[in-house]
Amino acid sequence: MSAKHKTQATWGGRFSAGPAELMLQFGESVSFDRRLWSQDIRGSKAHATMLARVGILSAKECAAIVRGLDGLAREIQAGKFKWQLELEDVHMNIERALTERVPAAAKLHTARSRNDQVATDVRLWIKDQCVAVEGALVALLKTLVKLAAANATVYVPGYTHLQRAQPVSVAHHLLAYVEMFNRDRKRFAAASDAANWCPLGSGAIAGTTLPIKREITAKLLGFVDAKGRPRVTTNSMDAVADRDPATEFCFAAALCGVHLSRLAEDMILWSSTEFGFVRLPDAFSTGSSLMPQKRNPDSMELLRGKAARFQASLQHLLSLTKGLPLTYNRDLQDDKPPLFDAADQILLALAVTEATMAGAKFNRERCHAAAADPMLLATDLADWLVVRGMPFRQAHHAVGRLVAIAEKHRLPLHEIPQELALTADPAFTKGWQEVFNLTRAFQSREKIGMPGPRTLEREIKRWQKALR
Ligand code: ARG
């Protein structure tokens, strides 16, 4: 750029001088929005086709434009396209290059603004990303279900407050995450649905006086419902101002990130020497540059950290749009870095989680040693008293007294001598020790949502079928 600033051909008509170098540097988005090139070209091809159908472009002009756009696509794909910062964004870069090759391209921007153009590009991009995320989520779900099936008879303590609570199985624990990630699928599908309305034709703010047919463009771009009927936005002002699809995508990513971070934290704890329940694969662990013995669960720690990044992207979009007057404001250009980052990172995070979990090996011995803690069955013992007619509140106290005796005498709960047990409550007649049997404990939990072995087997089958 010379000191005497070049004027912008696209909007430069009313200006005597182009923007300052500093303004260009500040205002350009092509350094990041060039990622939208294929969506931008798809949008332009559809727009040109529609313009030809309503007679605004001749068939010849349209064909030349489409051919030109296809050529540009090949050039960009091959990395031969010269992106120019002074042309601000992806839209102007492509339009300028096209106009240089195809004179008819000067008519392409008829009945279109960059405002409805960028809204369209981003929506197409979000829909594409949702397809990729759905694939990654399904892959992760399949791996978790497989891992659950392989570890259906590995028992571990379940924790509340990170204190041993009641026995569960590794399968039940893993299937909890299957539920979460399956809900995430629905949230990404909802974001995709929010994006599935075509804003093209909204123009800058109030549409156009020209006789365009928005349904044609929408259909060509795949903005359709389940029956193939076109979905076009129904208010031109909302259409160019709306960033809900991006925000919803980032919300889906943020919540999915929270789920990933909780799984990560469980794996970090479980792979510690203190727990020793699981060994994560070498390929997703790292050593220490100083301590030779170290084997750190880095993939899981990074996942835990990424959750912050997803939340930052969501926060970014919420803050960006808060209090913004209708309709398009240049602030909105900055919606892309957080959106792109959320999509890139969630895809990476899901792939890393899938690969790490695929190589996770559970240590049955360590798991069972922990699950054998008789305290885990204290509640089952209270239930035993309830079956014999004692109100639960009272049973809870009676078992509490028994637990106190066990702690005082340093005895495992089920090894308290009978005479001593009777001092806790006369209801501890002979036979109360039968509760301390994990098989019994699990077999008593064959109700929906519980970790009974047959219930879990059904759950595993249900998921296997659902994910086929
Ligand atoms: N690069 C812009 C963005 O992403 C495109 C829309 C520009 N519209 C405008 N009126 N300046 O928001």
Q: Please write the tens of the pLDDT for every residue from 107-121.
A: 999 999 999 999 999
pLDDT at 1: 41
pLDDT at 225: 98
12 falls in which pLDDT band (50, 70, 90)? confident
Shortest-distance atom of ligand 1 to CA 332: 12
pLDDT at 8: 62
Q: How many other C-beta atoms lie within 10 A of the C-beta of residue 331?
A: 11
Does the structure show a pLDDT above 50 at 91?
Answer: yes
Domains of the chain from N-terminus onward:
19-110 (1.10.275.10), 115-211+239-367 (1.20.200.10), 373-436 (1.10.40.30)
* Active site members: 161, 288
19 falls in which pLDDT band (50, 70, 90)? confident
Angle in degrees, 0-180, between the axes of helices 298-321 and 336-358, rounded to the nearest 10 = 160
Please enumerate in sequence order all residues whose Cβ is within 8 A of that of 403, keeping only pairs 6 or more positions apart, or say none: 375, 378, 413
Shortest-distance atom of ligand 1 to CA 328: 10
Q: What is the arithmetic mean of pLDDT over 199-214? A: 98
- Determine which residue's CA is closest to atom 7 belonging to ligand 1: 114
What mean pLDDT value characterizes the chain? Answer: 96
Nearest one of 349, 339, 344, 405 to 378, comparing CA atoms:
405
Does the structure show a pLDDT above 90 at 194?
Answer: yes
Residue 214: both structure tokens together: 């928005």
Q: Please write the tens of the pLDDT for every residue from 256-292.
A: 999 999 999 999 999 999 999 999 999 999 888 888 8
**What is the CA(4)–ligand 1 centre distance, in A?**
24
For residues 295 and 271, what is the distance between their CA atoms, to the nearest angstrom? 10
**What is the CA(330)–ligand 1 centre distance, in A?**
6
pLDDT at 118: 98
Does the structure show a pLDDT above 70 at 2?
Answer: no
pLDDT at 13: 76
Helix (H, G, I), strand (E, B) or coil at 158: strand
Residue 109: both structure tokens together: 């921007």
Beta strands 155-160; 163-169: pairing state: antiparallel
The predicted model scores a pTM of 0.95
4 falls in which pLDDT band (50, 70, 90)? very low
Please list the residues that pair with 156 across neighbouring strands. 168
- Determine which residue's CA is closest to atom 3 belonging to ligand 1: 333
Residue 157 phi, psi (nearest 5): -70, 140
Q: CA 258, 259, 263, 269: dihedral to nearest 10 degrees? A: 30
Asked if residue 161 lies in contact with residue 96, where contact means CB atoms within 8 angstroms, the answer is no
Q: What is the arithmetic mean of pLDDT over 188-212? A: 98
Please list the residues that pair with 160 across neighbouring strands. 163
457 falls in which pLDDT band (50, 70, 90)? very high
Shortest-distance atom of ligand 1 to CA 88: 1
- Determine which residue's CA is closest to atom 2 belonging to ligand 1: 333
Instruction: Give the number of residues written for the chain.
Output: 468
Shortest-distance atom of ligand 1 to CA 29: 1
**What is the CA(115)–ligand 1 centre distance, in A?**
6
In three-state form (DSSP H/G/I as H, E/B as E, the rest C), the secondary structure along 198-236 is ECCCCCCCCCCCCCCCHHHHHHHCCCECCCCCECECCCH
- Determine which residue's CA is closest to atom 12 belonging to ligand 1: 333
For residues 94 and 81, what is the distance between their CA atoms, to the nearest angstrom? 9
pLDDT at 17: 79
**What is the CA(48)–ligand 1 centre distance, in A?**
20
pLDDT at 7: 55
Name residues contacting ligand 1 (CB within 6 A).
29, 33, 89, 114-115, 118, 328, 330, 332-333
pLDDT at 53: 98
Q: Please write the tens of the pLDDT for every residue from 220-248.
A: 999 999 999 999 999 999 999 999 999 99
